[in-house]
Amino acid sequence: MNREVVITGLGIVTPNGIGIRDFWENIVNGKSFFETLPIVRDRGYGEIKGSEIKDFNLDNYFLQDVNQGKFNKKNYGKVKTDDKSIQFAVLGTRLALENAVLEYNKENNDIDVFMGNAEEPIQSNEQVVKVVIQTVMKKTFEEFNKLVRPFHFFKTKREFVKYKCLLQEDKLEEFITFLNKRFGNLYQFTPPNTIDFKSYAIPAKISSFFNFHGSSICINTACSSGLDAIGQAYYTIKEGRSNTAIAGGSEAPITLQAISCLSNLGVISRTKPKPYCIDRDGFAISEGAGIIVLEEKECALKRNAKIYAKIKGYSQSSDANPQMVMLHPEGEYLKKAIKKTINMSGLNINEIDYINTHGTATKTCDLVETKVIKEVFEEHTNKLNISSTKSMTGHSIGAVGGIEAIISALAVQNNLVPPTINLDNPDPECDLNYTPNKAVERNIRNSLVISMGFGGYNSALVLGDVT
């Protein structure tokens, strides 16, 4: 179908700014907000860098309107107790709706929600595990405390010996059975609201809070999740199944579990993120949400909506690599995704002016992306402006594709290329124009956004002006 899809609303919730004005100002000026994360300080993790939204409180953005009856107080009360990934998503959606000046019938609409999330509401899940462990340990201690009396020494010793045996690696199931017999079901302490601590809760909460009655779908393709959510929303509107969609990603991954995993993989920076530098040592973990409003172009024009950019193409491919964290060394399938996207857009390679890369500042990723860009764009490569905005925003996993799509839409809207900061010691093998350290003015007709994810996901989106 010959339907065009445009972006009419932008909602951003990040450490670099909440709301488009502050966020874009910080991006254009190359500002970042990294520090050694408090959660790992004094825990033996060393200098792990990240970026958190300071003193985040949903009341600052909703309470006054809730009290005035603009939002349902009961629904808001539930969201306030939800994981931060849900709170970021709800706030990002509100900001996107307001930015789009989108009014709709709350009882009769077909507005879709496509939301990317990779880690699930992991902060809440981690808290539940702590509660369960703490409760079991407390009960175990109380049981032993009953036995520790002067005339029960040998009985107590026998209990400890029993535990010692069960704590052997191959006795774990016996140990769990032992505790279950003594205390009952260990997971009886799990709060019933853990049903809310799943990825699928994020689009569901958005739909219920704002009364959207179209599709409500969660996308989990690791670090490509946010971009893939936008891509799926684009297809839905282009194919005539919907006229309006909310899409993007939300993530609150700053937990000991996520940080430990990524640190052990060797992909988290202990200095600062330095994409394309010879001394790069990984990304800085971050959090937030990037959410957009997509509309069928004629519907948007009919209501005189401001159009930031048009989505011209989207595609995805898989490396199909059994090693979940390995990239294809030649970037063969990333190249395929980019070529398919550009072909779908109807553009020539020389009509792409700007690329927002995945740019994680890991040894392999930066080299692969550089190689792929050279092979796809050939002699046009040197005419491109490229940037890794993760050098400023950090890597918010499933949310980052939504955030980078917003950055790219603003780049098209303002004809301004955001910089790659910290690019002070370039890797000779990464020899493209990465727009080092300062934003650059240029006419941007079309931009390409690239996302890659663990599991071999490769995603590409083309945004352009509406002419």
Give the active site residues.
Answer: 223, 358, 395
Burial state string for 333-365 with b = 16 or more CB within 10 A and e = fewer than 16: bbbbbbbbbbeebebebeebbbbbbbbbbbeeb
Total Cβ atoms within 10 A of residue 255: 18
Whether 293 contacts 97, CB under 8 Å? yes
Quick one: tokens of 201? 């809760």
Q: What does DSSP assign to residue 249? A: E
What single string gives the DSSP state of each residue in 389-437? Answer: THHHH-B-GGGHHHHHHHHHHHHHHHTEEPPBTT--SB-TT--S---BS
3-state secondary structure of 354: strand
Between the two ends of the chain, the Cα-to-Cα distance in Å is 19
Q: Compute φ and ψ for 181, nearest 5 degrees.
A: -65, -35
* Bridge partners for 7 per DSSP: 294, 309
How far apart are the C-alpha atoms of 90 and 142, rounded to whole Å?
43
Q: How far is CA 308 from CA 156, 271, 305, in A?
A: 71, 35, 9
**Dihedral sign from CA coordinates of 43, 47, 51, 56:** positive
Whether 438 contacts 419, CB under 8 Å? yes
The greatest distance separating any two alpha carbons of the chain, rounded to the nearest whole angstrom, comes to 89
Q: Compute φ and ψ for 29, nearest 5 degrees.
A: -90, 5
Q: Report the DSSP pairing between strands 244-251 and 112-116.
A: parallel
Cβ-Cβ contacts under 8 Å for 297 (sequence gap 6 or more): 3, 4, 5, 6, 307, 310, 466
How far apart are the C-alpha atoms of 249 and 453, rounded to whole Å?
14
How far apart are the C-alpha atoms of 356 and 405, rounded to whole Å?
8
Q: Report the DSSP pairing between strands 35-36 and 49-51.
A: antiparallel
How far apart are the C-alpha atoms of 230 and 221, rounded to whole Å?
12
